[in-house]
């Protein structure tokens, strides 16, 4: 029985997705490390460091299917690290002893870190694609509902009218910032690591940097300025990004979850027979995707803290903090992949009840636009006096359960400044959404012109 939801056949597609799990699977991790070893052999042959026939043989045999996986597992259990058993596997698979030229001048962490960078390259591409898809969905929602009035809420109470298009555009702004962040730090997250035992490339003499540069080009990774064996800000930054991203998705999920409350009923997750059903209450339609988005953010946050702690490493090769990454990085990427998948499905099928949004704007008998009335009176009696006058009228409206507009029209101190028609206009929630529409347009224009 699996000890983790990430491995469970029951739960793995709730907390992750198949594409991201494949990237961080044992088989793919090993294959990425083998690709580093093969790439190293090829560039060293071109530079005259090892024989060409050795490079050819290593490249041909450095594939997962040629590895004796059972022996490899036993080797890891013996050594506590994977690369020595991996190199032993390459040597065993190669003919004529040519495998002895593998791993020439490298150290364990070189291969593991460079393999990780290959994994991160693929994982970040997957995230970028998902973010682009979610952005497109939010663009569609912002356009469609640009002028659909909705109660804005503050401290869980109705505050002022907004529009649902504005709300979707606010969600969109967070997604777009993450796309920008990703483009900015991606090169730092996908750097080659090839520096030798203490990071100085001493085993390759004056050809070390030539090998390093050629290997970066061979693998399609970024060239490091200097060794990063124990300077782990790049991988910590990557995990921090995942924490930020899952936090934004959880904020969107929280908005949807709270909007699905029976007493609100404005926004709903997609409907499918049985989706979010209760085992005992047939009427229930639970916000299942939203809940998973919130859980993913909570779990990712803990891994972010772990990765930050793992930055504190000793000297040129750490005595243990590096292992934190083996735990935290794959889990956080899988959580993020699952959260993106859940968010994409949820947002693409979001059900919007515009009539309920409009009805909810009226449940306070017009008090949601009390600020509009205050600002309408302010030029005549001053803002603070107007605030106090409208505050008293609001209390009366609540006590008497009457529309704010009616009480305002009964007060001479107000009607001497405003006509009944002006008061009615001020009390129309749809007329007090400020420049929400223009903000939506500005956000959409930015998305349309951003090059990535």
Give the active site residues. Answer: 155, 278
> What is the chain's length?
452
Decide if 42 contacts 52 (C-beta within 8 A). Answer: no
Task: Give the SS3 label for residue 352.
Answer: strand
Task: Give the SS3 label for residue 12.
Answer: helix
Task: Give the SS3 label for residue 280.
Answer: coil
Nearest to 162 by CA among 262, 63, 266: 266
What H or E segment, with its residue span, contains residue 219?
helix 208-219
52 vs 146: CA distance, rounded Å: 64
332 vs 118: CA distance, rounded Å: 17
Residue 157, strand partner residues: 154
C-alpha 297 chain-centroid distance: 9
Q: Where are the beta strands (DSSP E) in 146-200?
A: 149-154, 157-163
342 vs 138: CA distance, rounded Å: 14
Task: Give the SS3 label for residue 267.
Answer: strand
């Amino acid at each position: 029985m699996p000890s983790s939801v990430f491995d469970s056949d029951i739960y793995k597609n709730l907390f992750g997705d198949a594409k991201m799990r494949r990237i961080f699977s044992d088989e793919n991790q090993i294959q990425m490390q083998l690709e580093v070893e093969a790439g190293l052999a090829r560039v060293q042959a071109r530079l005259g460091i090892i024989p060409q026939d050795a490079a050819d043989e290593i490249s041909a045999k450095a594939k997962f299917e040629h590895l004796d996986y059972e022996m490899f597992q036993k080797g890891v259990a013996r050594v506590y690290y994977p690369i020595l058993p991996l190199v032993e596997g390459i040597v065993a698979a190669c003919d004529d002893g040519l495998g002895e030229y593998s791993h020439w001048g490298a150290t364990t962490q070189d291969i593991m870190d460079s393999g990780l960078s290959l994994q991160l390259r693929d994982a970040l591409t997957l995230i970028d694609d998902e973010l682009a898809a979610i952005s497109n969905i939010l663009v569609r929602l912002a356009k469609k509902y640009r002028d659909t009035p909705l109660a804005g809420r503050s401290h869980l109470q109705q505050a002022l009218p907004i529009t649902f298009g504005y709300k979707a555009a606010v969600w969109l702004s967070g997604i777009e910032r993450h796309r920008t962040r990703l483009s900015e730090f991606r090169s730092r997250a996908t750097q080659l690591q090839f520096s030798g035992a203490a990071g100085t490339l001493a085993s390759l003499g004056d050809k070390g940097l030539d090998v390093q540069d050629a290997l970066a080009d061979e693998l399609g990774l970024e060239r490091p300025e200097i060794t990063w064996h124990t300077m782990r800000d790049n991988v910590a930054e990557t995990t921090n990004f995942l924490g930020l991203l899952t936090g934004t998705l959880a904020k969107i999920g929280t908005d949807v979850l709270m909007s699905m409350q029976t007493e609100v009923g404005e926004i709903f997750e997609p409907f499918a027979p049985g989706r979010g059903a209760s085992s005992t209450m047939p009427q229930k339609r639970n916000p299942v995707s939203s809940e998973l988005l919130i859980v993913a953010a909570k779990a990712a946050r803990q891994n972010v803290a772990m990765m930050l702690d793992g930055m504190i490493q000793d000297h040129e090769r750490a005595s243990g903090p590096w292992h934190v990454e083996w735990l935290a990085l794959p889990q956080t990427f899988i959580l993020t992949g699952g959260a993106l998948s859940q968010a994409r499905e949820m947002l693409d099928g979001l059900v919007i009840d515009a009539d309920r949004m409009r009805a909810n704007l009226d449940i306070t008998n017009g008090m949601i636009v009390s600020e509009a009335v205050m600002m309408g009176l302010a030029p005549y009696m001053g803002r603070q006096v107007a605030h106090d006058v409208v505050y008293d009228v609001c209390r009366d409206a609540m006590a008497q359960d009457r529309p704010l507009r009616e009480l305002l029209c009964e007060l001479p101190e107000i009607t001497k400044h405003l006509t009944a028609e002006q008061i009615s206009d001020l009390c129309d929630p749809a007329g007090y959404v400020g420049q929400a529409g223009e903000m939506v347009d500005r956000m959409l224009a930015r998305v349309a012109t951003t090059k990535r």
